Amino acid sequence: MLKVENLRVNYGAINAIKGISIDVPEKSIITLIGANGAGKTTTLRAISNIVKAAEGSKVLYDGKDITSLPAHKIVEMGLCQVPEGRLIFANLTVKENLDMGAYLRKDKENFAKDLDFIFAIFPRLKERIKQPGGTLSGGEQQMLAISRALMSKPKMLLLDEPSLGIAPLLTKTIFEKIVEINKTLGMTILLVEQNANLALSVANYGYVLETGRIILEGPAKELESNPEVRKAYLGET
C-alpha cells in the first residue's frame, strides 16, 4: 500500500535521512523503531510531504507517486498522520475536534455512524464530549488525536510516538485499541515509536532506524528476540 524508496531528507548541510526504503503492505501494522533523534518523525513528515524529500526519493501510495503532492492532497487520498505530541485543538471541545477531523469529507450523512464507532473504541471520549480538549489527560488527548484522524475516513494511519508522555496503563490501552482499529477496519498502520517493546508486540514487521539509516529489518517477533535489538532498545544488558 505504501512504498518508500531511497528516501533522503536534508536540513541544510545535515543529512537527516540517508536513503531508506520501507514497504507497508495493506492491512498490516509496520513499525519504525529507534532512539530519540534517529529520524523517525522526519521520515513520517517526509511521507506526508510536511518536509521536502531530497531529489531521487520516491513515496508511492496505492500505486501513485505522492512524493511532491501537497500535504492536504495526501490526506484527501486517505493517508492521515497523527503527529507527535498529539497537537489537538486545546480550546475546542472533544466533539469539535472530531468535527475538524472530518473537515474534508463530503459524506456528512455517515458522521453519526463513525462517531458511534469511535465512542465504542474510546468510551472516555463520549463521557468528555463537551469538554475542551486541553482539559483531557495526556492519554485521553492521544485517544482524541487518533479519533480525529479516523474521522477523515483514512485508508492508512501514520502514528508518531503514540506512547509519548502517557501513563503506562493508558499506553497499554491505546496500543490495544491500535490493534483493534487495524483488525476491525482493516486499517493499514505505520507506527513510529521509541518504546520498542510495545511497538514490536503489536506489529507484523519492523525496521530499526539509527542516525537516518535502517540498520535492521524483519518480522517483529524476530526483531524482539534479536540480541542486538534487545540490548539497544529493550533494556537488556
Contact indicator for 174, 162 with CB cutoff of 8 Å: yes
Per-residue pLDDT reduced to its tens digit, 195-204: 899 999 999 9
Q: How many domains does the chain have?
A: 1
Domain for residue 78, yes or no? yes
For residue 35, pLDDT beyond 80: yes
Domain for residue 101, yes or no? no
In 3D, which of 26, 76, 74 has the Cα closest to residue 53? 74
Structural domain for 171, as ranges: 2-87+153-233
Domain for residue 116, yes or no? no
Please report the pLDDT score of residue 111 as a whole number.
80
In 3D, which of 77, 78, 44 has the Cα closest to residue 156? 78
Domain for residue 130, yes or no? no
Please report the pLDDT score of residue 146 as a whole number.
93
Per-residue pLDDT reduced to its tens digit, 140-174: 999 999 999 999 899 999 999 999 888 888 899 99
CATH code for the domain of 196:
3.40.50.300
Domain for residue 34, yes or no? yes
First vs last C-alpha separation in the chain: 37
Distance CA(63)–CA(61), nearest Å, equals 5
Please report the pLDDT score of residue 229 as a whole number.
86
Task: Summarize the confidence of residues 7-13 as an average pLDDT.
Answer: 94
pLDDT band at residue 92 under the 50/70/90 scheme:
very high
Percent of all residues in the chain with a pLDDT value above 70, rounded to a whole number: 98
Percent of all residues in the chain with a pLDDT value above 90, rounded to a whole number: 75
Please report the pLDDT score of residue 42 as a whole number.
96
Report the SS3 class of residue 214.
Answer: strand
Domain for residue 22, yes or no? yes
pLDDT band at residue 18 under the 50/70/90 scheme:
very high
Compute the mean pLDDT over every residue in the chain, rounded to the nearest whole number: 92
Domain for residue 139, yes or no? no
Please report the pLDDT score of residue 20 as a whole number.
97
Domain for residue 123, yes or no? no
For residue 9, pLDDT beyond 90: yes
Please report the pLDDT score of residue 189 as a whole number.
98
Per-residue pLDDT reduced to its tens digit, 179-236: 999 999 999 999 999 889 999 999 999 999 999 999 999 999 999 998 888 887 776 6
Distance of CA 19 to the CA centre of its chain: 21
For residue 237, pLDDT beyond 60: no
Question: And the C-alpha cell for 73?
Answer: 492532497
